[in-house]
Chain A
């Protein structure tokens, strides 16, 4: 187990990166505490897998340092780093039995056969693989195979960190939920640092205590799921997390107040807003928009029933504003006025939260 520090890490797949776009991972610094459950969340191609491979040692960073418990492991091999990684597609050793698959990492490290047996049986019980230990691994279903990959990560009791690279991609939807809860439960039981890479916000938010949101090779925000939801540091986070995502509306700022559609709107961070003029945006989640007798005038365009609430789509001057309405509340026809909850409405400048 270890706490992990990334110091000014940068990586490019090109031999001589020049422009900003050549860097798969732009300068980033990060500290992960021992025993935490972290998620790396971002759209495809944002550099999550690159970051993961840098930590595991499958890639060497172009610049920067990686420290495990203060020890510089930047140049160490994956084996020396003593980490475990579960890949997107289940990797199993076809010719071996489930038992031998689980024992493989231990036997490679010349662990005594008695201890191997203990560990393998313990992990097999944890993952409910007991009954198939004697089966050939090749015959298992996709989720069974992924459990084996996971098991090979868990079988060593001294790994510094276990990393998951979109591990549920090939798993059937109904089993995804089962495996996800299993992972969460495992983390609570063994309290080892786990890093989970995904582009699926549900997976990230349910698994992790801390979520790192990435975009174009940069970290946009690090926070608990609640923080990411309530206080997105960037309009990207607001939009990427939440379903539907945050409404982002262009606005003017005058005297600490946002002006949208000719209405002055109270915001949580208006006071911090020293600038005036353009380049500002208003961010408010659909959860915090409601119908009111006065406020932003809109036209109701579409109503989507999502069960316990409805998603109402409205427009003003070509800008779409989505809102959530509880099922027992009535929805006005045609034109209406909207109120944005002041403590949940924030001003963003060039995408970033004004502070």
Chain B
């Protein structure tokens, strides 16, 4: 039988090519374009090679922003993943409380990000906010507009409140899909609760947790809105994460070249770390 060759089929993928071009490739190429040129007013551009990249990579400001960013992501992953898993394990599997729990868990995810920032901003105000006044009344010296530690504390608390639910819902979905026979077999094999968790639940949740960690990693590494609304990157630069630093460079100082270079480096870091993590987690499955 002869295979039909028809090059016209390429036209069928044209709409997708156009869509991707407009929403990804063209904007990205613009950024690449900026990153290798020096721009002046009246659309005057001069080739500058890799100078912006070198500048950014050597800038202390970028190093510190990256460090703060990594620290923030590490802290929230360490808190949110185990906490989310623990809550999912504690949630009921059947009965009327299931829907109550699910709705309660989903609520924080439905709130617009800038609203979350504003809510916590007010909540944590040391003079009128419930959290701020409460902490001060208990004898803690707490003021997120002045002390870097308080600011970090508030931001982390806010992120945990906002995003742990995502981990909970993903883990819960994974837990519910484990067939009952596994638990029955474990009971008959005399497995204690810890063994059930370690040898049944955790292995069965592997994919779900991988996705949860990836999502939380990417989102927290790119966190912007909530932090800007809450602290604006302060006090000083203490909560200026990469994304905030980038916006300051690009739109505050209007340094388009360095900002473009920084965007690309930022993008590559996220891509590389995600790829590394995913590959490591899935390494065993190929065998």
Contact = CB atoms under 8 A, between A and B. Distances in A.
Interface of A: 53, 56, 58, 77-79, 83-85, 87-89, 91, 93-96, 104-105, 108-109, 139, 149, 152
A188 B187 CA distance: 27
A139 B179 CA distance: 19
A149 B181 CA distance: 11
A85 B188 contact: yes
A85 B200 contact: no
Contact of A56 (B188, B190, B199, B204): B188
Contacts of A93: 199-200, 203
Contact of B189 (A53, A77, A104): A104
A87 B189 contact: no
B184 interface: yes
A325 to B, nearest CB: 46
Nearest to A153: B188
A105 B190 contact: yes
B199 A78 contact: no
5 contacts: A53-B184, A87-B181, A87-B185, A91-B181, A93-B200
Nearest to B287: A139
Contact of A88 (B181, B195, B199): B181
Nearest to B187: A78
B184 A87 contact: yes
Given A87-B181, A88-B181, A108-B195, A79 B203 contact: no
A15 to B, nearest CB: 13
A152 B181 CA distance: 14
Interface string B163-191: 00000000000000001011011011111
Given A78-B184, A93-B199, A105-B188, 8 more contacts: A77-B187, A78-B188, A83-B188, A84-B188, A85-B185, A87-B181, A104-B199, A108-B189
A152 B191 CA distance: 12
A84 B188 CA distance: 6
Contacts of A85: 184-185, 188
Contact of B185 (A53, A77, A91, A95): A91
A88 to B, nearest CB: 7
Nearest to B179: A89
B184 A152 contact: no
B189 A152 contact: yes
Given A89-B181, A108-B195, A58 B190 contact: no
Given A89-B181, A108-B192, A95 B187 contact: no
Contacts of B185: 85, 87, 91, 149, 152
Contact of A105 (B189, B192, B287): B189
Interface string B197-208: 001100110000
Most chain A beta carbons < 10 A, residue from B179, B184, B200: B184
Contacts of A78: 184, 187-188
A57 B267 CA distance: 56
B285 to A, nearest CB: 9
Given A93-B200, A95-B199, A96-B199, A104 B191 contact: yes
A139 B287 CA distance: 8
A78 B184 CA distance: 9
Nearest to B202: A95
Interface residues of chain B: helix, strand, loop or mixed (majority): helix
Contacts of B195: 108
Most chain A beta carbons < 10 A, residue from B189, B190, B287: B189
Nearest to A84: B188
A341 B264 CA distance: 91
Given A85-B185, A87-B181, A149-B185, A95 B203 contact: yes
A105 B195 CA distance: 11
Contacts of A94: 203-204
Contacts of A95: 199, 203
A167 to B, nearest CB: 11
Most chain B beta carbons < 10 A, residue from A93, A109, A149: A93
Interface string B134-157: 000000000000000000000000
Most chain B beta carbons < 10 A, residue from A53, A56, A78: A78
Given A58-B184, A85-B184, A108 B199 contact: no
Interface in B260-287: 287
Contacts of A79: 187-188, 190
A58 B187 contact: yes
Interface in B216-255: none
A134 B83 CA distance: 35
Contacts of A88: 181
A59 to B, nearest CB: 10
Nearest to A79: B190
Contact of B182 (A83, A91, A104, A109): A91
Interface string B62-91: 000000000000000000000000000000
A89 B179 CA distance: 10
Contacts of B192: 108
A294 to B, nearest CB: 58
Contacts of B189: 104-105, 108, 152
B287 to A, nearest CB: 8
A16 to B, nearest CB: 17
A69 B191 CA distance: 25
Contacts of B181: 87-89, 91
A152 B204 CA distance: 20
* Nearest 8 A/B pairs, CB to CB: A108-B190, A91-B185, A105-B189, A87-B181, A93-B199, A95-B203, A94-B203, A79-B190
Contacts of A96: 199
